[in-house]
Amino acid sequence: MAGIGLIIIKRLGLGLLTMLMVSILIFGAVNLLPGDFAQAILGQGATPEAVQAIRRDLGLDQPLVERYFTWLFGVLQGDFGNSFAELNFSSYGGTTASANFGSVADKLAPRFNNTMFLAGVTALFAVPVSILIGVLAALYRNSIFDRVANITTLTSISSPEFFLAYILILILAVLNPILPSLSNIYDGMDFADRLERSMLPALTLTLVVTAHMMRMTRAAIINLLASPFIEMARLKGLSPFRVILFHALPNALAPIINVVALNLAFLITGVVVVEVVFVYPGIGQLFVDSVKIRDIPVVQACCLLFAAAYILLNLTADIMAILSNPRLRHPK
């Protein structure tokens, strides 16, 4: 057990180091973008004194390194800074310009909850369905069911998310008005209405992630079917279904857990296109809107949340794969 604890501590340490490096890249890349927000918000007719006053109010006149550490220490305390989109300029002109700020955290909280709800609904459908189809495809390998499943998954993998989204809108919202085409979610909405309006984006994401998880499950199980312990189970007279379910599947959990975690990370970090298509008020939609208006603090916060979710889920997959596989728990 001490060895497992040491491995987990090492993984967590590497995760924190990775997060630190990613935060540097995010802050540097966003702040090195061309253009000046102060000049853009005040317009071409603004005086240099007014531009300088806005830069001072926003902290943009400080050195890049100092701004990074100020931002990093704020993030560690749960403070992502102030949104530029919430600026209310009381005056600007010859020499003065002043502004009131809105908190980035206040904007992120409801959007993050909406994205997590969408990811949770998608995972609730996608994970069990993909594992079940993968097990059945391995059980009936080279059958009609296996071929249809492979063709379907290859088609969904090859199709962009926005294309699948528009196809679903056409079929389920236009030709057959079963579900709403726009996901206008708002606070105070009851669960049934929220679920109904989230169903089309959830189905789109399900089609995307199910293909990856199903194919990995199938490949991992088939890879084990030639193993000696599988041959022994067959010689005992066990049915093919019991051999796969009780002998092959538990030993194939490590790669399956990895691909499930990667696809769950995609549900949080890769929802930008889907949220934009369905106008779903999540982190992805907020990220796109913030990029359009150069709301630097919100863009940084969204990127950091995406990176944190991806790294955290990868660490979780790594640790679970170690715990589920004795060969990884006791490496030679």
CA–CA gap between residue 288 and residue 299 (Å, rounded): 8
CA–CA gap between residue 312 and residue 330 (Å, rounded): 23
| Nearest C-alpha neighbor of 198 from the set 220, 182, 175, 215 | 182
pLDDT bin (cut points 50, 70, 90) of residue 92 is: very low
| Cβ 281 vs Cβ 114: under 8 Å | yes
- Report residue 315 as tokens: 């660490």
Residue 135 has pLDDT above 50, yes or no: yes
Residues 6+ apart with CB under 8 A from 85: 102, 290, 293, 295, 298
| Nearest C-alpha neighbor of 205 from the set 137, 132, 282 | 282
Q: Where are the alpha helices (DSSP H) in 182-330?
A: 191-197, 199-224, 228-235, 240-243, 249-251, 253-269, 272-278, 283-292, 296-324, 326-329
Who wins on pLDDT, 136 or 45? 136
Distances (CA, A) of 233 to 103, 220, 222: 61, 18, 15
pLDDT bin (cut points 50, 70, 90) of residue 21 is: very high
- Residue whose token pair is 């007719």: 45
CA–CA gap between residue 212 and residue 43 (Å, rounded): 48
Residues paired with residue 82 on neighbouring β-strands, in sequence order? 103
H or E stretch including 87?
Answer: strand 82-92
User: pTM for the full model?
Assistant: 0.80
Residues 6+ apart with CB under 8 A from 32: none
Residues 6+ apart with CB under 8 A from 206: 122, 125, 126, 129
Residue 9 has pLDDT above 80, yes or no: yes
pLDDT tens digits for range 169-225: 999 888 888 888 888 887 778 888 888 888 999 998 888 888 888 888 888 888 877
pLDDT bin (cut points 50, 70, 90) of residue 107 is: confident
Torsion (CA) 200, 205, 211, 212 in degrees, nearest 10: -170
Residues 6+ apart with CB under 8 A from 149: 133, 136, 137, 214, 218
Map out the domains of the chain with their CATH numbers.
2-103 (no CATH), 106-329 (1.10.3720.10)
Q: What is the pLDDT of residue 54?
A: 73
Q: What angle do CA 102, 184, 170 make, to 5 degrees?
A: 140
Indicate the angle between helix axes 283-292 and 296-324, nearest 10 degrees.
150
| Cβ 262 vs Cβ 311: under 8 Å | no
Length of the chain, please?
332
pLDDT bin (cut points 50, 70, 90) of residue 265 is: confident
pLDDT tens digits for range 221-261: 888 777 777 778 777 777 777 777 777 777 777 777 778 88
Q: How far apart are the first and last CA of the chain?
A: 16
Residues paired with residue 128 on neighbouring β-strands, in sequence order? none
CA 47 to chain centre: 42
| Nearest C-alpha neighbor of 327 from the set 235, 245, 224 | 224
